[in-house]
A and B are shown apart, each in its own frame.
Chain A
């Protein structure tokens, strides 16, 4: 028996909106935003530390376990938050359906690739060669 059949159409759609996902996007956008507040402040400190660091000094800085973990957390939150934000911009301004879908998928792919590449780079730096 399909339980969905027992719900009225109003019950099914209530609170889900046109995207059919309710407040999920809104909530994840805020959670990544809250995570990014301390991570961005830390990344500004790191950037200032890297100013006059040559290759060896820069590697040593990112090899510290705390910095490596925070950098991976930073890039994950960054690309997740970027995808959610760009999604809304595309939804608002791109009105040709095939263009919108193409852009949305491209942005998702690029953000996942960016996060994976950055995370792998940090692991490589942290573990040495």
Chain B
């Protein structure tokens, strides 16, 4: 079927999820929420570590052991990236709240900085982890 561009077909489509083109503006927004929820779950780990450290050597070693396990490392890596992304994108949001960076080009660039920066920051932190001899 040949497509001719008529005034009707040139009109923008309504943003229904199946026909909506993915773009950095929506990706950064969705990721901010998703990482926020993931980090709220991750606060359980902060609780566990502090309570174990208050409880005694055996609970503390148990939590450390979990952090060094396969599942523990996987979760810690995920939470590190979530934290880096939510931190960078959160700073971006605060700058937008202050009225900065609302030009379309600037806005898109800032979104990419959040996404790429989060991976760079995660890599830096885990480079520090391995430079110190790995986990546990």
Q: Mark A12-46, 1 if CB is under 8 A from B, else 0.
A: 00000000000000000010011011001000100
Within 8 A of A (CB), among B32-46: 33, 36-37, 39-40, 43-44, 46
Which residues in B have their C-beta under 8 angstroms from that of A65?
A: none
Residues of B within 8 A of A58 (CB): 53, 60
Q: How many residues of B contact A (CB 8 A)?
A: 31
Q: Select the stretch in B2-10, B19-27, B86-94, B109-117 that faces chain A.
A: B86-94
B70 within 8 A of A: no
Chain A residue numbers with a CB within 8 Å of B87 are 36-37, 40
Q: Which A-chain residue is minimally distant from B98 (CB atoms)?
A: A30
Question: Is there contact, CB below 8 Å, between A55 and B43?
Answer: no
Chain B residue contacts of A79, Cβ below 8 A:
43
8 Å CB interface, A92-113 against B: none
Distance of A36 Cα from B125 Cα, bound (Å): 18
Known pairs A51-B132, A78-B43; A125 contacts B60 (CB<8 A): no
Q: For residue A125, which residues in chain B have a CB less than 8 angstroms away from its CB?
A: 50, 53-54
Asked if residues B53 and A55 are in contact (CB atoms below 8 Å), the reply is yes
B42 nearest CB across to chain A (Å): 9
Q: B128 an interface residue at 8 Å Cβ cutoff?
A: yes
Q: How far is the CB of B117 from chain A (nearest CB, A)?
A: 14
The answer to whether B40 touches A86, judged by C-beta atoms less than 8 angstroms apart, is: yes
CA distance A120 to B54 in the complex (A): 9
List chain B residues, Cβ under 8 A from A75.
46, 50
